[in-house]
Structure 1
């Protein structure tokens, strides 16, 4: 039985850590370059959004393989909570100014969250149904071609 500190496990963990670092560096570099371009061209859209669009386009066109960003993306998602700490600290420092509007702010956040969750659920449900119909149609078409009328399946 392998112990969690065996050389193979340590090598795998080290390789994964290096892979995550390189992928994060690549994503940061891409977003930094997109920010420079967006600023130089005086675009209204922030460079980080342009960078996200570039990554999504490269992934969708299969130019950038998913495995080239997967480890870095998984790390970012796992550590996402850390990105919310600075806004919370900012909210606390402005508490005296926002506490009068707290009910309106919380209502907007809750309603916005519910709307996003419902919209996401509807889109996922529609896509799932479309894929299921396409799969059933493909299976039906495959069976129809396999057993053409007038042909016997017995030889």
Structure 2
């Protein structure tokens, strides 16, 4: 029996995912970025990560052409960045506080962590592509909770308050 795409999306929405912004600089020198909710650790040796951009993405071709990218793990107060980098067209960096890493990649201020990678491989994944990146350098600079996407909405992770002895 064929699977209805909307039902599939709804059911898969029950599984929370972290929200990241992948950034790069095109060979022409333009900063590009896109929001991804399909990011994962893949391998320890070599250190690989993966994400799945939509084939229709207008940002992915610039990131692919760069051959290097940075995964910025968003903090729970950065929903606005998740929305801004998920938008279509235009300069997504307008009004975004960021700096450039030692290797020339955009790092978003306030991100929980960042992971700089070189493009390892790109494979077919239906209406998406599977991107593997080989980790070159990484850092966790903030202790904030990560932003997650669950049941069709951005969410914050709530940790229980420890009991006072």
* TM-score bracket for the superposition, by shorter chain length: under 0.3
Q: More helix by proportion, 1 or 2?
A: 1
TM-score of the aligned structures, taking structure 2 as reference length: 0.21
Query: Greater RCO between the two (CA within 8 Å, min separation 6)?
Result: 2
> Which structure has the greater CA radius of gyration?
1
TM-score (norm 1): 0.22
